[in-house]
Structure 1
Amino acid sequence: MTTRHASCSCGQIRVTCEGDPVRISMCHCLACQQRTGSVFGVQARFKREHVTLGGETSTFVRTGDSGGRSTFHFCPTCGSTVWWEFDAAPELIAVAYGAFADPSLPPPTVSVYEERQHPWTVMPTLDVEHIH
């Protein structure tokens, strides 16, 4: 079974995920753009029972365009958002893709809020033969 480790920039928050993610997705909503400082957010969702969380977090609760609430956990020292929970899916933990700092993590297969996508961004072309 694959074990993956994620952390904030300073290393105070640590996340360990066992097994493969349930889903890896890109979100183009304006809130993710503001949260990440990028043109989209990327998350890897894992079943809660496969995730071990460590470190002290501060939280921010946001109501999304769909009306659902998400609780974001970020580092009070360096400010990195590392993981979040969804009221609508309490069995899942979403981990910020970049927090893994691992180029071997599979690419996203889902893209949401594409009506807000910057026109120069594209979903990766999936070459299944070369994904490890």
Structure 2
Amino acid sequence: MIERLASCSCGQLTAHVAGEPVRVSICHCLACQRRTGCAFSHQARFLRANVSPSGISSEFVLAGDEGPGAKFHFCPRCGATVYYEPLSMPDYVSVPVGAFADPGFPPPSVSVYEERMHSWVVPPASAEHLA
């Protein structure tokens, strides 16, 4: 079984992940753009049982464009988000793909909120495009 380690910038907060993600997605909603400081967010969803966080995190609950949103866990020292809990999916934990610092990570298979996508962004042709 494949194992990966997600980490904040200073290494204080980590999430050890076992197995492949159940979904890798990019989101173009305005909340994700603001949260990441980027044109979209890129995350991998895993079964909660396969994610083992370690370290001290601060939490921030952010309401989504639809649904109850998510509880984000970020390092109180360097500010990097390492994982988050989608409030409508208690059996899953999502990890920002950048926290793995792995250029070989699987590409996104889903692209959401494309109506808010920046004009220069081109999702992978193989990705499912959801509203």
SS in 2 for 1:115: helix
Structure-1 separation of matches of 2:69 and 2:120: 29
Residue 31 of structure 2 corresponds to which residue in structure 1? 31
Correspondence 1:64-75 to 2 at 5 A? 64-75=64-75
Letter paired with 1:44: A
Residue 96 of structure 1 corresponds to which residue in structure 2? 96
Percent of counterpart pairs with the same letter?
56
Structure-2 separation of matches of 1:68 and 1:121: 27
Shift of 1:124: 2.2
8 A Cα contact 2:67 2:88, kept in partner: no
Structure-2 separation of matches of 1:10 and 1:99: 11
Structure-1 separation of matches of 2:23 and 2:38: 20
How many residues are matched? 126
Residue 105, structure 1, aligned to residue 102, structure 2: no
Structure-1 separation of matches of 2:64 and 2:33: 13
Letter paired with 2:77: T
TM-score by length of 1: 0.92
Letter paired with 2:119: P
Shift of 1:49: 0.4
TM-score by length of 2: 0.93
8 A Cα contact 2:31 2:65, kept in partner: no
Residue 129 of structure 1 corresponds to which residue in structure 2? none
CA deviation vs aligned residue, 1:84-126 (integer Å, no higher than 9, x gap): 0011100000001100000111000100010000010011245
Structure-2 separation of matches of 1:125 and 1:7: 29
Structure 1 spans left out of the alignment, 5+ residues:
127-132
Structure 2 spans left out of the alignment, 5+ residues:
127-131
